[in-house]
Amino acid sequence: MGRVALVTGGTRGIGRAISERLKKDGYAVAANYGGNEEAAKLCEQELGIKCYKFDVSDYDGVGAGLKQIESDLGPVDVVVNNAGITWDGPFHKMTKEQWDKVIDVDLTSAFNVTRQVWDGMRERGFGRVINISSINGQKGQFGQANYSAAKAGLIGLTKALAQEGAKKGITVNVVAPGYIDTEMVRAVPEKVLESIISTIPVGRLGKAEEIASMCAYLASEEAAFITGATMTVNGAQYIAG
């Protein structure tokens, strides 16, 4: 097939599972990361894909990273905007730094990356942009005003870009995971996690592979008529809660 896919935050957790799945499906995969060299090294060794360090919240850094990726692998056809962080706290204690950091890494990053591959996708008449939001962007979450705003912002961005890309063969969609078993979720205190699981009708956390398979479908030719959509992958937690 010869298509090139970039997965931001593609070396750990959900992103790593997406990188692995896309590689299996025949893409030349570039996995971006922020600073965890050990995870990146493991990813290169175990998955046999190239990893690229740049900060997705830095527009020029993203540009330099993309230049390297395109010179190594070719133009990027598929982007999965997956890199994300949390920095939680009740709103009455939330600092400006806490707000800015999460908005920059979780929302502005999608602009930084997508804007710099968009013209190429338009010229080639094909593109797939997949934005990883969250159930907490859909419903809001106590203690996560910054994260909920950023993740909801990705849904608005997706709906606008879906319309702009439609005539150019570019689809833009959101995957909104529920609680998935990764380091980000394992950092949640055990008692809190137990109470979260009790609100998931399926009765367990999701697996990173279950997010990866949705991304693989949205990246495929078969999904050409799906654009501007928010695909929820959450064990029915959203409708039950």
Chosen residue from 3, 4, 5, 13 binding ligand NDP by CB under 6 A = 13
Decide: 30 and 49 in contact? Cβ < 8 Å. yes
Binding map of ligand NDP across residues 31-70, x = CB under 6 A, - = no contact: -xxxxx--x---------------xxx-------------
Closest to ligand NDP by CB, 8 vs 171, is 8
- The yes or no reply on residue 134 touching ligand NDP (CB under 6 A) is yes
- The yes or no reply on residue 131 touching ligand NDP (CB under 6 A) is no
Q: Which of 27, 52, 147, 179 is catalytic?
A: 147
* 199 CB neighbour count, 10 Å cutoff: 13
- Scanning the chain, the segments in alpha helix (DSSP H) are 13-24, 37-47, 59-73, 96-103, 109-124, 135-139, 145-165, 183-186, 190-197, 208-219, 237-240
Q: How many residues bind ligand NDP (CB under 6 A)?
A: 30
Here the tokens at position 87 are 């920095």
- The yes or no reply on residue 12 touching ligand NDP (CB under 6 A) is yes
Closest to ligand NDP by CB, 27 vs 179, is 179
- The yes or no reply on residue 138 touching ligand NDP (CB under 6 A) is no
Q: How far apart are CA 198 and CA 206, in angstroms?
A: 13
Sequence-separated contacts (24+) of 114-117 with Cβ below 8 Å = 114/79, 114/81, 114/161, 116/59, 116/62, 116/63, 116/66, 117/6, 117/66, 117/75, 117/76, 117/79
The answer to whether residue 147 is catalytic is yes
Q: How far apart are CA 175 and CA 49, in angstroms?
A: 23
- The yes or no reply on residue 84 touching ligand NDP (CB under 6 A) is yes
Here the tokens at position 123 are 């010229």
Closest to ligand NDP by CB, 24 vs 41, is 41
Decide: 228 and 173 in contact? Cβ < 8 Å. yes
Smallest gap from Cβ 2 to ligand NDP, in A, equals 25
User: Which residue is listed with tokens 């850094």?
Assistant: 61
**Candidate ranges 67-75, 159-167, 178-186, 196-204; the one touching ligand NDP (CB under 6 A):** 178-186
**Candidate ranges 44-52, 79-87, 157-165, 220-228; the one touching ligand NDP (CB under 6 A):** 79-87
- The yes or no reply on residue 85 touching ligand NDP (CB under 6 A) is yes
At residue 9, what are phi and psi to the nearest 5 degrees?
Answer: 55, 40
For the annotated catalytic residues, the residue numbers are 147
Residues that bind ligand NDP (CB under 6 A): 8-9, 11-15, 32-36, 39, 55-57, 82-85, 105, 132, 134, 177, 179-180, 182-185
